[in-house]
Structure 1
Amino acid sequence: MKLIIAIVQYKDSSGLVNALTEKDFRVTKLASTGGFLRSGNVTLLVGVEEEKVDNVIEIIKDTCKKREKTIISPYPVTESTGMYIPYTYEIEVEVGGATIFVVDVDNFMKV
């Protein structure tokens, strides 16, 4: 038995949970925060038999696509004069996708 831990962007989580449950995989959804943008993430836990790991990973890949997002970031400028000039600028960052861990499960039981 394997435990798949998938960290995905909040925007992708509902579609992924639906896609997994339609294929009869049981999913536990945990709210999480972190990363570069400090944006909401979701951590999904999926326990599966070893031969089904690739199926789950394919569903994650199909559902959680990477995309570009424009963010506005503060960027302080200090010239050689020592003057501090605060302003903001737009930057393109890549969001989406998934971070996936697959770990062995020593013991599994339902009570």
Structure 2
Amino acid sequence: MKLVIAIVHDEDAGNLIEDLTNNNYRITKLATTGGFLRAGNTTLLVGVEDEEVDKVIGIIKNNCESRKEIATSPAPVSGTTGVFIPYPIEVTVGGATVFVVDVEKYVKL
């Protein structure tokens, strides 16, 4: 058995959850925050048999597209006057970060 941990953009989470549940996967949803942009993410935990891992990753890939957005810098620049001046930067959002880990033991009570 494997545990698939998928960190996805909040905008992609709804469709992904619906697609996973329509394919009879049970998921646990966690609200998380990214460290760089400090933006909302959703972390999904999906326990699957080894042979199902590629199917789950395919569903994630079909629902989570990366895209470019303009965001305000997460760390404002300060000049010699000590004034903070945030500036716009182009960032890639969306997509998914996926980890697959072995499950030593699974118990459902």
TM-score in same-fold range (> 0.5)? yes
Rounded Cα–Cα distance in structure 2 between residues aligned with 1:10 and 1:108? 28
Q: Write 1 or 2 for the structure with the bigger share of strand.
A: 1
Code of the aligned partner of 1:9: H
Identity of aligned residues (%): 55
Shift of 1:86: 4.5
Q: Residue 46 of structure 1 corresponds to which residue in structure 2?
A: 46
Task: Tell me the alpha carbon deviations over residues 67-111 of structure 1, each in whole angstroms, 9 at most, x when there is no partner.
Answer: 001012333344xxxx55653422100011111110111111211
**How far 1:33 sits from its partner (Å)?**
1.1
Q: How does 1:1-111 map to 2 (within 5 A)?
A: 1-73=1-73, 74-78=76-80, 86-111=84-109
Bigger Cα Rg: 1
Query: Structure 1: where are the runs of 5+ without partners?
Result: none
- How far apart, CA to CA, are the structure 2 residues paired with 1:34 and 1:62? 22
Q: Which runs of 5+ in 2 are unaligned?
A: none
1:14 aligned counterpart, secondary structure: helix
Structure 1 residue ranges, 4+ long, deviating more than 4 angstroms after superposition: 83-86
The AA in structure 1 aligned to 2:78 is P
When the two structures are superposed, what TM-score results if normalisation uses the length of structure 1?
0.88
Using the size of structure 2 for normalisation, the TM-score is 0.89
Count of aligned pairs between the two proteins: 107
How big is the alpha-carbon RMSD for the aligned residues of Structure 1 and Structure 2? 1.4
Matches of 1:36 and 1:29 in 2, distance apart? 21
Measure, in 1, the Cα distance between the counterparts of 2:35 and 2:15.
21
